[in-house]
Structure formats: C-alpha cells, structure tokens
Structure 1
C-alpha cells in the first residue's frame, strides 16, 4: 500500500498544513505528496553523514511508515519540514550512537569540520576547543604534522618537504592523530559533528 501510494500523482499543490490535516484523516494521497516533496532532501541530509545508501533509504522509508502509522496521534508544533528533518536527524544520531559508522565516516566528518567555512557558532567553538586539547597531548612530531595539515592546510607532499620526512611518515602521523581524536572524543563528538554538518 505504501509503495503504491508513493507512486500516485498529485496535480494540485497544497500547503503542508493541509497535507497534515488530510494525512490525519487517512488520505494516502497526502502521504504520497509529503513523500514526493521531502524524501530526496531527507535522504541526502542523512547520506551526507552516513555515506551508506541502503541505511539512508531504510531511515527515510521507516520515517514515512511511522508517519502513516502514527497519523492519528501526530502533533506537529513546528513546520512539517522541521518535523521531518528532526526525525531524520534523530535516526542518524541513533545510528552513530550505536556504532554503525566506520572510522572513514569519522575522518570525513572531521575533515569537513576542519574546513574553514561557516561554522562560527558556540557549538563549533566548543568542539574545536576539545580538539585543541587532545591535539596538545600528541607527540611533538605528530602534533606538528597534524597542525601543518589541518591548520595550515598543507598537502602531504608539502609537509614532507618542510619537515624532511617521507609522505608515508606524514600519513602515519595523521592516522595516529585521528585515531587519538576518535578514542579521546568518542561518540559524543561524532554526534556533535553530525549536528553541525547535517543542517
């Protein structure tokens, strides 16, 4: 029923408020319209963190199944979009908290966070303070390589040339630094990064 509902077309654009009202009345076309309107945005927001196509598809599918099954009791005190994003965010957090992410996901999240960009809020500053504390405990050469990479944005080759070491040694130092960050900061840090980078 759900799959066929998603394939239905809705030729008249109606507001989210009206869609919610129709959904609560058991109108499957309202669910189809909500799905068509938001599924891709929700999927991409989850995929940006998890990088797991099947897991993200499952998250979004389950979200809409729950939306339909709980339609009689649903209370949306914010916009429908905000409600759906919050539900997706919660499930992504749950995946991260339960350890269903790999070291590669951590490293990718961390690299995104280190990119100079728009993250100038309090949460970002607190996270970077935690990172600085852990970095300060790294062995001297490891810390130097890490800072040249993440703070001065030098390539592995540039770092190797400056420090007169091989690029393989640079990679080893960075791997060690990231491993130490993962171990010291743990899942809480991953959750905070996901919060900043998801939306």
Structure 2
C-alpha cells in the first residue's frame, strides 16, 4: 500500500515534468523489467532497448498518461507487450522459435501437454463464440466447407460467412498467441 502511494506521488511529479521522478521510477523498476524481458528473449541488447524505449515513452507521454492500475503492473504489461511484439516482428523471432523447437523435441512430455492445452483453449474460445459465429467456424474448420457451401447451408450471404469467420479466427488467434507466448516462455526456462 505504501508503495502504491509512492508510485502515485512519483507519477504526479513525473506529470509535472520532474526528471528526478523518472530517474526514481527507473531505479525502482529497470532491473526487474529487464529480467522479465530477458527471461523470454535471451537477448541482452534487445531487452535493454525494450526497457529504455519504455522509459522514453513514459517520459514523452508524462502529461497525458493515465495509469489506472499500479505503476508496476503498467510497466510489466508494457514490457510483456513489447517482448511479444519483438517476437512477432523482430529479428529475435527465428532464433527464439528455433530454440523452442529444439526444446520441444527434447521435452516431448511438455510439448504434448502444451499441445493439449492449446487444443483446450481453442475449444473454449470456440464454445464462447456467438451461436452463428461458432456454427460458421465449425462448418469451415471441422467440415471443411467453402464459404459458398456454408452460406447455402445456413441460408446467409457469403459476406456474412466471411465476417463471422473473421471474427472467430481473430479470437482464436489472439487466444493462441497468448498461449504460444506462455509456452515459449516456459520452454525458455
């Protein structure tokens, strides 16, 4: 609780342009944030860049930033997001996934468990879809029907099929991206 008050005071000072507040926040959190990123990426330079960019953005947005959670949670979420973005788009991606593939081959039990968890997650996401969206997804993925065949069977337009399938696939992909990041993180340790 005291730390939260200190964070709020630091954020107020930061919003007023106090560079010392940024320095205090940096000293409080940089090492843990770096380790959070490094545990996944295993790339010192990339992790240093991620943390440095985070503090630069914090300074640049100091007067407009609204943090509705704890400062710590906000910073960790930002680092995790940037690590994920680095994996998805950065040069680290191929190396990280090659190492993960090697670990999966060596740890088949963990891989099988991860695969089962991913299947369960897809099933949970599909089950939570709206009825029509779920029905379109299942016809497309499980019965391998074309958009035109689905439209004909459900008496809807092919555009509606496309829209419903796009919604379903976005939700499934988002869920799987989260699970994949967790699996890669676990395998990296």
User: TM-score with structure 1 length normalisation?
Assistant: 0.52
Q: Deviations over 1:154-191 (max 9, x none)?
A: xxxxxxxxxxxxxxxxxxxxxxxxxxxxxxxx9x8665
Residue 192 and residue 52 in structure 1: after superposition, are their counterparts in 2 closer, same or farther (change >3 A)?
Answer: same
Partners of 1:106 and 1:190 within 8 A in 2: no
Q: Deviations over 1:20-61 (max 9, x none)?
A: 111111111110000000000000111111111111111111
Return the alpha-carbon distance in structure 2 between the equivalents of residues 93 and 79 of structure 1.
Answer: 21
Q: Does 1:78 find its partner at 2:69?
A: yes
Structure 2: gaps (5+ residues) = 122-172
Query: How many residues were matched structurally?
Result: 125
Structure 1 match to 2:164: none
Higher helix fraction (1 or 2): 2
Structure 1: gaps (5+ residues) = 1-13, 131-185
Superposed counterparts of 1:170-185, under 5 Å = none
Q: Does 1:193 find its partner at 2:180?
A: yes
Structure 2 match to 1:56: 47
1:126 to 113, 117, 136: 117
Return the alpha-carbon distance in structure 2 between the equivalents of residues 97 and 106 of structure 1.
Answer: 10
Structure 1 match to 2:168: none
Q: Deviations over 1:77-96 (max 9, x none)?
A: 10000000111111111111
Residue 106 and residue 32 in structure 1: after superposition, are their counterparts in 2 closer, same or farther (change >3 A)?
Answer: same
User: How far apart are 1:193 and its partner, in Å?
Assistant: 3.4
Partners of 2:15 and 2:63 within 8 A in 1: yes
Partners of 2:7 and 2:71 within 8 A in 1: yes
Residue 125 and residue 31 in structure 1: after superposition, are their counterparts in 2 closer, same or farther (change >3 A)?
Answer: farther
Return the alpha-carbon distance in structure 1 between the equivalents of residues 57 and 93 of structure 2.
Answer: 27
Return the alpha-carbon distance in structure 1 between the equivalents of residues 27 and 115 of structure 2.
Answer: 33
Return the alpha-carbon distance in structure 1 between the equivalents of residues 21 and 91 of structure 2.
Answer: 33
Partners of 1:49 and 1:109 within 8 A in 2: no
Return the alpha-carbon distance in structure 1 between the equivalents of residues 118 and 82 of structure 2.
Answer: 22
Q: Does 1:68 find its partner at 2:59?
A: yes
Partners of 1:50 and 1:92 within 8 A in 2: yes
